[in-house]
Amino acid sequence: MATQHLDLEEQEQLDQIKAFWRKWGNAITWFLIVILGSYAAYNGWQLWQNRKAQKAAALYDQVTEAATANDIDRLQRVLADFRNEANGAVLLDHAELTLAKIAADKGDLTLAAAALNRVITDGADVGLVAVAKLRLSGVYMQEAAWDKAKALLDGAWQPEFDGLVADRLGDIAMANQDTAGALVAYKKAYAALSADVAYRRLVEVKLNALGATGNAAPEGK
């Protein structure tokens, strides 16, 4: 009976994880990672010193206008020009990320994934490439494509991203009913996230639901 009760609890949490991503996955993917976008901002502004950057800046103004108007068709047209006129500019990466966000907000995950994949493949800044990978993993999780999300998250990341990557790997483990793997990942996420980051509290809630605490060190530490 005790084993059956534990299985029911685990299944209930698995259902909660899936429901959580259906309801809040988009907001987490696009809102929480905004802070990490500043990781690459300095490199982007260096490009203002040449003519290509000036062209990119003018096009990015059009991107901003289209995004403010929530006009995805106009945004795609501007981006087509952007790719032809200023390919390789960091501001193009920002523009693609903007398109991906608006597309996801409108429920067009295919368009969002295409924009994110362009950044991952052709991105000019490693920080923004990492942001795109993390956001694309969120798109896959919204689609319940857990294996694709995990494949994207596996591997080495810049330390700034370790906490969010580990948390997502924990959610994927839970979706695959791997409670032990989820516990290890959530502990790693909790340890990596700064105490002043509000998202750390959500990771702590997940740990508590698995009978652990945020203060426990991840295995292997």
The 10s digit of each residue's pLDDT in 210-220 is 988 756 545 54
- Residue 4 scores a pLDDT above 70: no
* pLDDT value at residue 55: 80
| Same domain (yes/no): 128, 42 | yes
Count of domains in the chain? 2
Confidence band (pLDDT; 50, 70, 90) for 89? confident
213 against 26, higher pLDDT: 213
Residue 161's domain comprises: 1-32+146-221
| CA gap 72, 90 in Å, rounded | 21
* pLDDT value at residue 42: 45
| Same domain (yes/no): 105, 125 | yes
| Same domain (yes/no): 174, 210 | yes
* Domain end call among 143, 174, 190: 143
Q: Extract the tokens encoding 100.
A: 């991906």
* Domain end call among 143, 166, 181: 143
For residue range 179-200, list pLDDT tens digits in order.
999 999 999 999 999 998 888 9
| Same domain (yes/no): 103, 168 | no
Residue 57: count of CB within 10 angstroms of its CB: 15
| Same domain (yes/no): 158, 103 | no
Instruction: Map residue 219 onto helix, strand or coil.
Output: coil
* pLDDT value at residue 64: 92
Q: Extract the tokens encoding 12.
A: 């209930």
Average pLDDT of the residues in 55-78: 92
* Domain end call among 73, 108, 143: 143
| Same domain (yes/no): 151, 217 | yes
